Amino acid sequence: MTQTKRAIRVGAHFPWGMGLGEVGAFSQGTEASGLDSIWLVDKHTNWGELWTTSVVVASNTKRIKIGLDATDPYRRNVVVTAHAAATLDEISGGRVIFGIGRGTISLLKEMGMDQKKPLVAVREAIEVFRKLLAGERVTLEGEVIRVKGAMLSIKPAQDRMPIYQTGETLEDMRLASEISDGLEIWGGSETYLNNVHETIRAGVENRFESFRDFALLPWVPFSVDEDSSKAKERLTPRMTEVLRRVPDSVLELMGIDSAAVQPLRNAWEQGDIDKAQSLLSDEILEPWAIYGTPEHCTTRILNLYDLGVTEVMLQFTSNWQSDMEVLKDYILPGLEP
């Protein structure tokens, strides 16, 4: 499998609202552009179901990693999830990065489920996954997870499948530094990444020789255009919706004044979506997203590397084909030593 020469890896996240008929084309385009990975979300509110869609991705690619962003310990039995991950890994020839987090409370409630002891649940689930994927027979009478003598019929193609954890809270981040291979986070502002580093430092230094041996992977909305205003315009509708419901605690970690976001929230709640979008200033958006000219986007990605990021997960817009061409021809070459 060809390895990137870049110090920082670059992955692709499916565009918001993309039709299922485009999954194959997007997957092929991601690989042809020279990107390193492709990431899928496990939410019933995000178009395609994770596992069935990931098979389409695997069948349309040969090289890139397939990242799961991310499942949780509640909606599926952990043995079923581990079996699905092992199956996908064999189908893809050992390209799966397994992602897990505490899940989204609102979506769990829609399914009649509670987010019971999330840190305990994630810790116990990862323990079971590790053992099942290693071919062991597993019994665990945990506080949340209970397994009695389970064993998978197959092992993944990889000797050790990477397990990344999502970091929605500082407690999640600390747990990831203690038991996982990597951490998936929101956004890539300097303030946020410094907060993340401070939170995970002790756990990572206790387990790894180098800080970069622990994968740090921010999700970053992406849009590129020689006209920066057009690049921003493509991100504005979705990012307005995202930012109007982000907790103040997360805004604080990102270095964003929640008072600056409140007028946007107020306009949204009043049903004035156009006004809300007009209030999405560069000062609010820039800590979250990478957008603008090819030169500016290249610089932003290199800055992420300087801040300790090992891979950036770029969320594309409906303009993904054009953006991938710019990535291939201008941005990715600028990331090579």
What is the average per-residue pLDDT within 221-248? 95
Predicted local confidence at residue 18, as pLDDT: 87
Predicted local confidence at residue 249, as pLDDT: 86
- Band (209; pLDDT cuts 50, 70, 90): very high
Query: Does position 3 have pLDDT exceeding 70, yes or no?
Result: no
Query: Does position 314 have pLDDT exceeding 50, yes or no?
Result: yes
Q: What are the φ/ψ torsions at residue 269 (nearest 5 degrees)? A: -65, -30
Tokens of 267: 């306009």
Query: Does position 2 have pLDDT exceeding 80, yes or no?
Result: no
Tokens of 326: 């710019």
Tell me if residue 30 falls in helix, strand or coil. helix
Predicted local confidence at residue 1, as pLDDT: 43
Query: Does position 45 have pLDDT exceeding 80, yes or no?
Result: no
- Region of 42 please: left (phi>0), alpha (psi -120 to 50) or beta: beta
Q: What are the residues whose beta carbons fall under 8 Å from the beta carbon of 143, sequence distance 6 or more?
A: 117, 120, 121, 124
Mind listing the pLDDT tens digit for each residue in 100-141?
A: 999 888 888 888 988 899 999 999 999 999 999 999 999 999
Mind listing the pLDDT tens digit for each residue in 241-294?
A: 999 988 898 898 889 999 999 999 999 999 999 999 999 999 999 999 999 999
| Alpha carbon distances (Å) from 252 to 140, 189, 195, 210, 246 | 38, 11, 10, 28, 10
- Is pLDDT larger for residue 324 or for residue 7? 324
What is the average per-residue pLDDT within 294-303? 97
Query: Does position 7 have pLDDT exceeding 80, yes or no?
Result: yes
Tokens of 203: 């756990």
Q: What are the φ/ψ torsions at residue 119 (nearest 5 degrees)? A: -65, -40
What is the average per-residue pLDDT within 161-183? 95
Query: Does position 145 have pLDDT exceeding 80, yes or no?
Result: yes
Minimum mean pLDDT range among 17-21, 63-67, 281-285: 17-21
What is the average per-residue pLDDT within 301-317? 96
What is the average per-residue pLDDT within 1-23? 83
Predicted local confidence at residue 4, as pLDDT: 59
What is the average per-residue pLDDT within 18-38? 96
Tokens of 27: 């997957």
Predicted local confidence at residue 109, as pLDDT: 85
Query: Does position 5 have pLDDT exceeding 80, yes or no?
Result: no
- Band (33; pLDDT cuts 50, 70, 90): very high
Predicted local confidence at residue 11, as pLDDT: 98
Maximum Cα–Cα distance across the chain: 59
Where exactly are the structural domains of the chain?
Answer: 9-239+286-335
- Band (91; pLDDT cuts 50, 70, 90): very high
What is the average per-residue pLDDT within 184-192? 91
Predicted local confidence at residue 71, as pLDDT: 93
Tell me which CATH homologous superfamily contains domain 9-239+286-335: Luciferase-like domain (3.20.20.30)
Tokens of 58: 């695997």
Predicted local confidence at residue 174, as pLDDT: 97
Predicted local confidence at residue 12, as pLDDT: 98
